[in-house]
Structure 1
């Protein structure tokens, strides 16, 4: 028993140390697990023969991952994505698998083995790519959305691949394995052993139909019964029971457990218990997947790498180049433009974690020899190790080139002018634009995100693709005649530069801006912005006020205290801004600033403790409705009143 505890401690310690370091370096958690396995296995020899046994247990994490993937695939979402999903994703898998199969045949491998290798290298790393997209905020770009469609199709394509691989078994490998099994007197449990082909097909078909029907009709009553107990651990046990039971049933029928888990997930995708199931399965899935990747790293044979270093490097480079060419050509066919096409191609040019799954499964099903499997696992791992380098290549070399090109006159031709120019039409700018247009104020919208502009045009919101910081575009948009510029750019530095430029060259134009935090607000003030608002200030105060009312506070008293909070924050903010101005660039929020901020917190606490003595805020006392005819005297052009 002590030995098992020590082994578990070694695996967990390796993960706890390696994965956070890999995340901080931008390498991703999957590579962290792989490195951890390499360190405790081939390098230090802390784990040994038990790795293969643990890997069989850890493979259940893949089953859980496919169950979660199935849960996320609502039929409606799949239908909406059908064109890119089937077109872009389907062609990528088919073309890459064909090219890799041809490469295998060139090296005189059996066609079954070559096809399995084509399946393995047609897949990319979902974990690495999506995590990197999230870290670099690339998920909403055209390249990011296209890559997601391909990854989603790849996840689905794993299922038929797992079903086809057993049909590719090589007779000579199968006979050798049967001989070894007989020598070991080992028998697997099976419900279909000895059945004729037609009976086996009927049993499989009936099982799948029964699985879908049971998931649709019996899962809801079961989960309601369990949920009524109010015991979270029982719901977790039920979720595990469901996945383990389906995996065991598929194993008894000689099918892939992952196939059954995926089908069960799809069936339950529309269930009201979907999110609860996902949250209960997620910790087990993550831990077992991490353990699986550690065992893959620990199982890497460095003697094979040292003996065939040139071959492994050449194959890795060939895989990346072939996938890159296929993806780039598909980007051209599907009209993915500019740097997004390179992002799409480079982000998916590696092999993926499912490659390890298919590789191990191909060896179990006697399609790939163990020696070839060891070499191919090195190719898969090395291509994943190189993925951060591909993103660095995109960031440092490709993206700057296209950004320089964007400075050339490729922006939309602006054929109208308005009272208000809005720079940036994200979630913040859109609300401003709709409010102004609804009140008859003409706007000109500029945004340098082409995909965002296309989305707005699809809902009949007129906007122009272009960088609002370019003086020529501002001139074309009519900055000289405009009354107001609204700055709602996502980049802090560019928004400050834009305000500074406009106030210097067009001082009569009022500039309103959105600030992310106090530092950004102060930077905008320092360059002359006329009005700036912290992005989350009002929404946070509104939610806090509603929370106090929900907890029993009187609405009038709560709103009064909100007014006091805003007044104190506004008054003390002047002192904070002066402190910020007087500080050096390196120490904007130094000791003096922090002391003033703590004073503000103390004043707020004291003000909130008082009952107010029926004192109305200045805003409450001074508010009166506008006189009759006031709106008729407003001029939409924004010119000064007569």
Structure 2
């Protein structure tokens, strides 16, 4: 059967993308090259301006290059949508409301201030005012796709960056319609379109916020009960795509719908599992976006105009860094944080390319001018990881007094992670709460999670057997990991994985019998509690007290026997690597 040219091109593009994700990026990581730069360099090398231009002379290169960058742009857009969805999962409506001053105050000040400064500079260089302001708005935007993975959404840096980026994402649609209103002979239709979009988009967002809390919990509950990872993933992607399509149909950006979908799911007990399952798709799709950025660079054009391009990049980075840092200082941010966020937010955004194309299509700027600033934008995106490092160093220099050491960071109170919301897990949670110790319970049984949450326990739905789930539980800063589920094989596997990744973590595991306890100690458990031994000790304590013996000596003898049995189990665990060889000796330890 013959393969169509379109299918062949699709296989060729997939080969380049998967090769970058599976071979090139790990190779760059070995030499400590940021993956962002790695993907952009892959796009530059394998794109139409790199090896792709040599395909006519060397046809074999067709299979390792991407000759049509527009063919993979839908996948790049999907990556940005998943990124905004994951950001929504990390938020809540309560937290978003608490940030309203930063979003609509700081965010507006940063965007408007940067646009005015850049637009005034371009107008002073001879650009018409309409075109200068259009380019000023475009270049004032910063990259959500690159900045947030580096800054996060927690801490002073992450909160400030997220507030400004969120305002920019919300302002993108009004900016595009404003450019249409500024276009020759389009003022009236542009304003009508803007008002219609704002009304329709606002109604769509309100409808999603009202319907989501009633529809999403039953949907994910049914998916969780099937115990099918594929069905659960399909439900999550369905919610993201439907939300994005809804806001797109209303004239808003699809990333607005993705963000709202994430916010709605964040209010349910399923957000941890959804985040873990969509992470691989988000990372790969975001890599596709970065490859398209690299493909927009043309080394020949850069070499011919390097002086003007470098000057433009430096001017944009400097102007945005100064305005952003100044706005942060006006809102009371510390000098070091203001410097770090200002430098991190200095590069243009992937949405800058959209606004520049809109401005060119509206006749506000010439196509050649738009192409020049698109190259400036791509170069600025490439520099974002370097800006993050420079910003961190600048913050240290600004905040550190001369000849004085940096202060030690303050650590938040660490929580205990409980795996299992059953009878044993709930009892452990009760004792932790009694002693005012924070905890988080995780269970793959949605009915157990709902039962626990109804009774006031801090519980979330999640399957720790799934790759990536342990990583998102924050075990690097956890007080302890307690495994309470009744699955001996899975408990051993989790103990082994957790001990390999977090050598200093306290791990307490429920064991079925002494043999299982010995296996858990070999896997790296700090403590293993055999059910058979504990039930026997409790029975012994009860009968001795009922026979009239004093409580104190009985409890002391029980503790002594428990310590003796634990020592024997650990001794058996250390003398062999195979638990089956010691079944007789471990049985004798309980006699």
Q: Same fold (TM over 0.5)?
A: yes
What is aligned with 1:78? 96
What is aligned with 1:611? 586
What's the CA shift for 1:387?
3.9
What is aligned with 1:54? 72
What's the CA shift for 1:562?
4.4
1:391–1:605 Cα change, 3 Å: same
Give the alignment partner of residue 13 of structure 1, picking from 11, 19, 29: 19
What's the CA shift for 1:145?
1.7
Q: Deviations over 1:257-295 (max 9, x none)?
A: 223333333344313333333334333332222112212
1:428–1:154 Cα change, 3 Å: closer
Helix, strand or coil at the partner of 1:230: coil
Give the alignment partner of residue 347 of structure 1, picking from 335, 344, 366: 344
8 Å CA contact 1:92, 1:150 repeated in 2: no
1:368–1:428 Cα change, 3 Å: same
8 Å CA contact 2:137, 2:175 repeated in 1: no
8 Å CA contact 2:344, 2:388 repeated in 1: yes
Helix, strand or coil at the partner of 1:169: helix
8 Å CA contact 1:305, 1:375 repeated in 2: no
CA–CA distance in structure 1, aligned partners of residues 113 and 292 of structure 2: 31
What is aligned with 1:114? 132
What is aligned with 1:232? 229
CA–CA distance in structure 2, aligned partners of residues 60 and 554 of structure 1: 53
Helix, strand or coil at the partner of 1:405: coil
8 Å CA contact 1:14, 1:40 repeated in 2: no
Q: Deviations over 1:433-476 (max 9, x none)?
A: xxxxxxxxxxxxxxxxxxxxxxxxxxxxxxxxxxxxxxxxxxxx
1:89–1:237 Cα change, 3 Å: same
What is aligned with 2:166? 155
8 Å CA contact 1:162, 1:358 repeated in 2: no
CA–CA distance in structure 2, aligned partners of residues 72 and 429 of structure 1: 19
What is aligned with 2:506? 539
| 1:95 aligns to 2:101 (yes or no) | no
Q: Deviations over 1:390-443 (max 9, x none)?
A: 4555677874686561539x99xxxxxxxxxxx986469999xxxxxxxxxxxx
Give the alignment partner of residue 41 of structure 2, picking from 30, 35, 42: 35
What is aligned with 2:557? none
1:58–1:394 Cα change, 3 Å: closer
Is the radius of gyration larger for structure 1 or structure 2?
1
Give the alignment partner of residue 279 of structure 2, picking from 277, 282, 291: 282
What's the CA shift for 1:154?
0.9
What is aligned with 2:51? 44
8 Å CA contact 2:329, 2:335 repeated in 1: no
1:359–1:49 Cα change, 3 Å: farther
CA–CA distance in structure 2, aligned partners of residues 252 and 174 of structure 1: 26
Q: Deviations over 1:366-404 (max 9, x none)?
A: 766543333223222322333444455567787468656
CA–CA distance in structure 2, aligned partners of residues 20 and 366 of structure 1: 44
8 Å CA contact 1:19, 1:29 repeated in 2: yes
CA–CA distance in structure 2, aligned partners of residues 33 and 245 of structure 1: 29
What is aligned with 2:326? 329
CA–CA distance in structure 1, aligned partners of residues 221 and 392 of structure 2: 49
**Larger deviation: 83-92 or 317-326?**
83-92
CA–CA distance in structure 1, aligned partners of residues 569 and 179 of structure 2: 71
8 Å CA contact 2:114, 2:319 repeated in 1: yes
What's the CA shift for 1:299?
2.5
| 1:291 aligns to 2:302 (yes or no) | no
CA–CA distance in structure 1, aligned partners of residues 18 and 198 of structure 2: 43
CA–CA distance in structure 2, aligned partners of residues 2 and 354 of structure 1: 30
Unmatched segments (≥5 aa) in structure 1: 176-194, 412-422, 432-489, 491-534, 570-599, 617-642
8 Å CA contact 2:339, 2:391 repeated in 1: yes
Give the alignment partner of residue 177 of structure 2, picking from 166, 178, 185: 166
| 1:271 aligns to 2:272 (yes or no) | no
What's the CA shift for 1:37?
0.2
Q: Deviations over 1:107-152 (max 9, x none)?
A: 3445454344333333434555555568xxxx98xxx623542234
Provide TM-score, normalisation by structure 1. Answer: 0.58
CA–CA distance in structure 2, aligned partners of residues 361 and 240 of structure 1: 30
8 Å CA contact 2:509, 2:529 repeated in 1: no
Helix, strand or coil at the partner of 2:529: helix
What's the CA shift for 1:297?
1.1
CA–CA distance in structure 1, aligned partners of residues 66 and 395 of structure 2: 44
8 Å CA contact 1:71, 1:278 repeated in 2: yes
CA–CA distance in structure 1, aligned partners of residues 361 and 72 of structure 2: 15
CA–CA distance in structure 1, aligned partners of residues 280 and 306 of structure 2: 37
What is aligned with 1:301? 298
**Larger deviation: 161-170 or 399-408?**
399-408
What's the CA shift for 1:76?
1.4
1:251–1:173 Cα change, 3 Å: farther
8 Å CA contact 1:97, 1:118 repeated in 2: yes
1:426–1:237 Cα change, 3 Å: closer
**Larger deviation: 357-366 or 31-40?**
357-366
| 1:374 aligns to 2:374 (yes or no) | no
What's the CA shift for 1:38?
0.2
What is aligned with 2:309? 312
**1:487-506 superposed matches below 5 A:** none
CA–CA distance in structure 1, aligned partners of residues 15 and 132 of structure 2: 40
What is aligned with 2:142? 124
Give the superposed CA RMSD: 4.5
What is aligned with 2:529? 549
**Larger deviation: 320-329 or 24-33?**
24-33
1:223–1:564 Cα change, 3 Å: same
1:171–1:342 Cα change, 3 Å: closer
1:331–1:401 Cα change, 3 Å: closer
Helix, strand or coil at the partner of 1:63: helix
